[in-house]
Amino acid sequence: MADANLAQDPAVAEAKARRAAQRRVWLTRLAGFVVVAGLLWLGWYLLIGRNHVSTDNAYVNAEVAQVTPLLSAQVIEVRVKDTQAVRRGDVLVVLDATNARIAVAQAEADLAAARRRFRQAAATSGALGAQVSGGAAEIARAEAQLVSAEADLAKARTDLQRRESLAGTGAVSGDELTAVRRSFAAAQAAATSARAAVQQARAGRAAAAGQLAANEALVSGSSVESDPAVLAAKARLEAAKLDIDRAVIRAPIDGVITRRQVQLGQRVAQGAPIMSIVPVNTLYIDANFKERQLRRVKVGMPATVVADIYGSDVVYHGKVVGIAGGTGASMALIPAQNATGNWIKVVQRLPVRIELDPKELAAHPLRVGLSTEVEIDLTGAD
């Protein structure tokens, strides 16, 4: 028994030695593998890794167009539904334009009245000009009558003085003297009336001249189509016609209808959103990078994007077109207040906008809100 144990001891020792040797070989290989992996990672980091930043906190976004009516009216036709693709200029909704047509008719009547008033004002200027010219003749006639009346007054005065000088001699009777005095008084009244007639003629001419000047100020330098009142009436007519055009609501951009909130027969209010259009051909990526990742990021750097909907089989190429002016927390509706003593630092993220290649986007369409992974090449820039 003892001899058998002695015979087995060398074999056991040899097996142990062999296992130890194998363990050393595997440990050496593992150490070599770790060293090689470390060197490969270091090489990758020095050549590639440190020149790229990436994040999976990235989402598809777009400048969504809000469709709003520009007048209040009843909906008489709805031609689109949610998820429907539309082109710019396609008719979306038709509103009742009855009130707009009535407004156009009223505006056309106002325009015709404005043109008529201008023609009337222009004709009035001619009439007033004739009155001014006639006023000059009337003044000349009144002045001539005044000269005649003053001559008659002078004669009556001379006759009166001659009769009065002879009254004491008895050569002139009392009746004759009375008649001469009456003639003198009549001549005085006629002269006074003639002077008043001259003043009246001059005042009439001045009034006509003033009216002519006022009327000329209204029509001078204008035609029936350039008169301010006519232009204002034209503007009101154009505004009324524009309301008729606005009764047909068209798509402002290419895209897909979403959040349609309008129904047939509904009365929509001016400025109230009735649907949205997502421009699926001009989507972009909002990638939220950590603040330390943005030390070397600049506008124009190339980027690659992988969307979860397609996986790594589809890679989009784009470039950085902008970096947000504030972090998501600072732009929140209720920003965080960290002015207290109980403050814990939280790494902030800053949105970076990535513009995608339109051809790749058309080949593999995306939708707003989809998750993506973004990687930016820090060595390239425009």
**Percent above pLDDT 90 for the chain:** 40
Q: Is the dihedral of CA 225, 230, 233, 239 positive or negative?
A: positive
Q: Among the listed ranges 69-73, 119-123, 181-185, 291-295, which one has the minimum average pLDDT value?
A: 119-123
Whether 305 shows a pLDDT value over 90: the answer reads yes
Q: What is the pLDDT of residue 1?
A: 47
Most confident stretch, 119-133, 213-227, 297-311, 335-349: 297-311
The 10s digit of each residue's pLDDT in 127-138 is 666 666 666 677
Q: What is the pLDDT of residue 32?
A: 82
Nearest partner of 233 among 103, 124, 121, 125, judged by Cα: 103
Which residue is it, tokens 């009244």?
A: 189
Whether 88 shows a pLDDT value over 90: the answer reads yes
**How many angstroms separate the CA atoms of 246 and 267, rounded?**
15
Whether 80 shows a pLDDT value over 90: the answer reads yes
Nearest partner of 270 among 292, 246, 297, judged by Cα: 246
Whether 113 shows a pLDDT value over 50: the answer reads yes
Residue 171: pLDDT band (50, 70, 90) is low
Q: Which residue has the higher pLDDT, 187 or 265?
A: 265
**How many angstroms separate the CA atoms of 302 and 51, rounded?**
12
Q: What is the pLDDT of residue 132?
A: 61
Taken as a whole, the chain contains a residue count of: 382
Q: What is the mean pLDDT of residues 8-37?
A: 79
Output the 3-class SS for 52-90: EEEEEEEEEECCCEEECCCCCEEEEEECCCCCCEECCCC
Question: Could you count the other beta carbons within 10 Å of the beta carbon of residue 44?
Answer: 11
Q: What is the pLDDT of residue 2?
A: 46
**How many angstroms separate the CA atoms of 303 and 317, rounded?**
6
Q: What is the pLDDT of residue 126?
A: 61
Q: What is the mean pLDDT of residues 203-224?
A: 66
Q: What is the pLDDT of residue 173?
A: 66
**Percent above pLDDT 70 for the chain:** 76
Q: What is the pLDDT of residue 276?
A: 95
Q: Which residue has the higher pLDDT, 299 or 230?
A: 299
Nearest partner of 299 among 283, 323, 317, 316, judged by Cα: 323
Domains, the chain: 65-98+242-278 (2.40.50.100), 100-239 (1.10.287.620)
Q: Among the listed ranges 71-80, 107-116, 264-273, 351-360, which one has the minimum average pLDDT value?
A: 107-116
Q: What is the mean pLDDT of residues 312-317?
A: 92
Q: What is the mean pLDDT of residues 357-374?
A: 92
Whether 219 shows a pLDDT value over 70: the answer reads no
Q: What is the pLDDT of residue 184?
A: 74
Whether 40 shows a pLDDT value over 90: the answer reads no
Q: What is the mean pLDDT of residues 229-235?
A: 87
- Mean pLDDT of all residues belonging to the chain: 81
Q: Which residue has the higher pLDDT, 124 or 38?
A: 38
Q: Which CA distances in Å does 1 have to 4, 5, 8, 10? A: 5, 6, 11, 16
Q: What is the mean pLDDT of residues 351-374?
A: 92
Question: Which runs of E-coded beta strand occur in the chain?
Answer: 52-61, 65-67, 73-78, 85-86, 91-95, 248-250, 255-258, 267-268, 275-278, 284-290, 302-307, 316-323, 349-356, 371-377
Q: What is the pLDDT of residue 336?
A: 64
Q: What is the pLDDT of residue 252?
A: 94
Residue 6: pLDDT band (50, 70, 90) is very low
